[in-house]
Amino acid sequence: MSESMNSPKSLNKGWWISLGVVVVVAILAIIIFVNPAPKTPEPVAGPTDSTTGKPASGCNVPLGDTSSKPAMPKDLRWEAAKGVTWPVSDTYGPTQNTDDYGICFARSPLGAALAMTTVYGLGSTADPKMATEIYAIDSVGKTAALEGPDSSSSDSSSDVPMGFAGFSTDSFTPDEAQITLVFAIAKSPTGYVGLPSTLQWVDGDWKVKLLDDGSTTAGKATNPVAGQFTPWGGSRG
């Protein structure tokens, strides 16, 4: 099937800026000046609290490939909602749902990356306050996001096409993952833009660590090239 491209909305201040694919619009003024050097992923550590290869509590999802550049699972597929598509795996995440939000991901780099694609994928259609409650770690940033304006009703938009291209594992331990999601976007000088995020393992699942201002992106956008990130596979809807 041909790749489905998204046309994200450009929204206002708060968690929703970087939660959904809409963040691409906000960073277009930055990415044309970014010339990142290739990153060398840090060594990946294995689990420390389980002898079964599964989370100690919560979701009980198998680890799968724990390398920093994992092979794509055979059951990788593309979830679709309101014109947006993002990769998911029935084995490695999300494996459960709460209030129609996908949860329960493998405690591995792949699981963390799938958690972030789910957060960004649902960001275009989900309720921002509920998404914050489910996906964000309790913190000053979460409070700021919840108390900030609800921008879901914004009618501003952009015709910038983009799609989920892959991810890179910037660092990983069983308790914290730094993942850069890579999107294909024509206006980037390399054809791609990378958005870094930090996730922490809380109560048996990955949660997003927000900045104190409530934003998701944990650093400057980058312009990776093919070969510098792990591409998604599978058939796209």
Buried b (16+ CB within 10 A) or exposed e, 149-174: eebbeeeeeeebebbbbbbbbbbbbb
What integer pLDDT is reported at residue 91 of this predicted model? Answer: 97
Inter-axis angle of helices 140-147 and 128-135, nearest 10 = 170
Tokens 């840090």, residue? 42
What is the domain range of residue 136? Answer: 15-231
What pLDDT, in 10s, does the model give residues 164-223? 999 999 999 999 999 999 999 999 999 999 999 999 999 999 999 999 998 888 889 999
Total number of domains constituting the chain: 1
> For residue 5, is it within any domain?
no
Tell me the three state secondary structure of residue 228.
coil
> pTM, whole model, 2 decimals?
0.77
Residue 227: partners with Cβ closer than 8 Å, 6 or more residues away: none
What pLDDT, in 10s, does the model give residues 128-177? 788 889 999 999 999 998 887 765 443 333 444 579 999 999 999 999 99
pLDDT for residue 26 is more than 90: no
What integer pLDDT is reported at residue 150 of this predicted model? Answer: 63
Q: How far apart are CA 10 and CA 152, in angstroms?
A: 10
Q: How far apart are CA 210 and CA 148, in angstroms?
A: 13
Is the peptide bond between 87 and the residue preceding it cis, with omega within 30 degrees of 0?
Answer: no
Q: Which residues pair with 193 in a beta bridge?
A: 183
**Per-residue tokens: 199:** 């996730």
> For residue 190, is it within any domain?
yes
> For residue 236, is it within any domain?
no
> For residue 237, is it within any domain?
no
